[in-house]
Amino acid sequence: MKRLSSKPTVYLIDGSNFSLRFWEKAGGSSPAELEREFLGWLGGIARTENLRASCFRVVFDGPYRRAGAAGPSITVYYSDSEPADEMLVERGYFMHTEGIRAIIVTSDNGLRDRAAAEGVKTMTCETFQHLAQAELRKDSR
């Protein structure tokens, strides 16, 4: 994949997997701080020209906590006692059966396999981050 599609897409993002994977390396001191940094970054991504028609559904593991503002096209969910993986696969499957273009973004191979078995498209966090950063660079020119 060379770039993120400009077609309206629902990105179902494994928030805990994504935020811990990348922002921890940047020196975040707590999971809450990592989540805020991730959502701030995603807010910038959501405002890029190519992704304005898309929306982002971020699912974090665990109980509700205040996440901070990220943007109008970003909705944050907390899995509470249910694994975030379940929420992501269920929502992805529902959207797939309804003809809604949806992609689960996670680097969890087990989750990606489960989603693929349900016919739901997936993308790794690394791929999404790389392609999203390219959109940010393109918009800043």
Helices (H), 47-83: none
Report yes or no: 67 and 76 within 8 Å, Cβ to Cβ. yes
Q: Please state the φ and ψ torsions of residue 102, each to the nearest 5 degrees.
A: -135, 145
Closest CA to 66 of 38, 45, 35, 28: 35
Angle ∠(63,68,74) on CA atoms, nearest 5 = 90
d(CA 41, CA 74): 11
Determine the pLDDT at residue 30.
77
Determine the pLDDT at residue 66.
79
List the domains of the chain with CATH numbers: 10-139 (3.40.50.1010)
Question: Which band of pLDDT confidence, cut at 50, 70 and 90, is reported for residue 36?
Answer: confident
Determine the pLDDT at residue 139.
79
The whole-model pTM stands at 0.92
d(CA 118, CA 94): 10
64-108 residue pLDDT tens: 887 766 778 999 999 998 889 999 999 999 999 999 999 999 999
